Chain A
Amino acid sequence: MSLYVVQFLTGLANAASLFLAACGLSVIFGVTRIVNFAHGAFYMLGAYVAFSLTLRLEGVVGFWAGIFLAAIIVAAIGALLEMLLLRRIYQAPELFQLLATFGVTLMVQDIVHMIWGAQDLVGPRAPGLQGAVQVMGLPVPTYDILLIILGPLVLGALWLLMHRTRWGVLVRAATEDRDMVAALGVNQKWLFTGVFTLGIFLAAFGGALQIPRTAVNHLMDLSIIAEVFVVVVIGGLGSITGAFLAAVLIAELNAFGILVLPGISLVLMFLVMAVVLVLRPWGFLGKPVSTDAKTIGETTRPWHPWSPTMAVLVAASVLLAAALPAVLGPYGLSIGAQILIAVIFAMSLQFQMSTGGLDSFGHAAYFGLGAYGAAFAIQWFQLPMELALIVGPLAGLVGALVFGWFCVRLSGVYFAMLTLAFAQITWSIAFQWVEVTGGDNGILGVWPSEWASSPAAFYWLTLAAAVLTVLILRHLVFSPFGYRLRGVRDSSVRAESIGISRQRTQYVAFAISGTAAGLAGALFAFLKGSIFPDALAIPTSIDALVMVLLGGVATVSGSVVGAIVYTMATIWLMSETDLSRLVLGGFIVFLVVAFPQGIVGSLSSFTSGSLERWRGRREASRPVALSAEASR
Chain B
Amino acid sequence: MTKTLFRTVCFAALLGAGLMASASAGRAADIKVGEINSYSALPAFTEPYRKGWQLAVEEVNANGGINGDKLVVISKDDGGKPGAAITAANELVSRDGVALITGGFLSNVGLAIADFAKQKRVVFVAGEPLTDAMIWSKGNDYTFRLRPSNYMQAAMLAEEAAKLPAKRWATVAPNYEYGQSAVAVFKELLKKARPDVEFVAEQWPPLGKIDGGAVAQALAAANPEAILNVEFGADLVQFVREGTTRGLFKDRSVVSFLTGEPEYLEPLKGEAPEGWIVTGYPWYSIDTPEHNAFKKAYEDKYGEHPYLGSVAGYIELKTVAEILRKAKSTEAEDLIAAAKGLKVDTPFGEITIRAIDHQSTFGSFVGKTAVKDGKGVMVDFTYKDGADYLPSDEEVKKLRPQG
Nearest Cβ distance between residue B277 and chain A, in whole angstroms? 22
- Do B76 and A575 touch across chains, with their CB atoms under 8 A apart? yes
Please name all residues of chain A whose beta carbon is closer than 8 Å to the beta carbon of B15 when the two chains form the complex.
321, 324, 336, 339, 564, 568
Tell which of A259, A266, A599 touches B10, judged by Cβ atoms closer than 8 Å: A599
Please name all residues of chain B whose beta carbon is closer than 8 Å to the beta carbon of A143 when the two chains form the complex.
245
A59 within 8 A of B: no
A313 within 8 A of B: yes
A298 within 8 A of B: no
Known: A214-B238, A331-B95. A530 touches B112 (CB 8 A): yes
Tell which of A140, A330, A560, A581 touches B11, judged by Cβ atoms closer than 8 Å: A560
Tell which of B7, B83, B234 touches A558, judged by Cβ atoms closer than 8 Å: B7
Which residues 173-231 in B have Cβ within 8 Å of A in the complex? 175-178, 180, 201-206, 208-209, 211-215, 217-218, 220-221
Nearest Cβ distance between residue A262 and chain B, in whole angstroms? 5
Majority-rule SS of B interface residues:
helix
Most buried by B among A13, A113, A575, A604: A575
- A contact residues, total (Cβ < 8 Å): 106
Please name all residues of chain A whose beta carbon is closer than 8 Å to the beta carbon of B90 when the two chains form the complex.
330-331, 334
Please, which residue of chain B has its CB at the minimum distance from the CB of A581? B40
B274 within 8 A of A: no
| Interface bits B88-132 vs A (CB < 8 Å: 1, else 0) | 101100110000000000011001101110010000000000010
Tell which of A122, A447, A600 touches B3, judged by Cβ atoms closer than 8 Å: A600
Please, which residue of chain B has its CB at the minimum distance from the CB of A142? B245
B162 within 8 A of A: no
Tell which of A10, A144, A317, A331 touches B22, judged by Cβ atoms closer than 8 Å: A331
Majority-rule SS of A interface residues:
helix
Tell which of A132, A534, A557 touches B245, judged by Cβ atoms closer than 8 Å: A132
CA distance A580 to B221 in the complex (A): 46
A607 within 8 A of B: yes
- B contact residues, total (Cβ < 8 Å): 87
Please name all residues of chain A whose beta carbon is closer than 8 Å to the beta carbon of B212 when the two chains form the complex.
213-214
Please, which residue of chain A has its CB at the minimum distance from the CB of B173? A262
Which residues 376-432 in A have Cβ within 8 Å of B in the complex? 431-432
Tell which of A10, A118, A560, A564 touches B43, judged by Cβ atoms closer than 8 Å: A118
CA distance A455 to B44 in the complex (A): 36
- Do B94 and A329 touch across chains, with their CB atoms under 8 A apart? yes
CA distance A193 to B314 in the complex (A): 51
Please, which residue of chain B has its CB at the minimum distance from the CB of A140? B246
Please, which residue of chain A has its CB at the minimum distance from the CB of B221? A3
Tell which of A118, A132, A255 touches B246, judged by Cβ atoms closer than 8 Å: A132
20 contacts between A and B (CB under 8 A): A13-B213, A14-B211, A14-B214, A213-B212, A219-B208, A254-B211, A265-B175, A266-B204, A310-B5, A330-B94, A331-B90, A440-B107, A444-B111, A445-B115, A529-B86, A534-B81, A564-B15, A578-B77, A600-B7, A603-B3
Residues of chain B whose beta carbon lies under 8 Å from any beta carbon of chain A: 1-8, 10-12, 14-15, 18-19, 21-23, 39-40, 43-44, 46-47, 76-79, 81-84, 86-88, 90-91, 94-95, 107-108, 111-112, 114-116, 119, 131, 133, 138, 175-178, 180, 201-206, 208-209, 211-215, 217-218, 220-221, 233-234, 237-238, 241-242, 245-247, 263, 266-269, 271
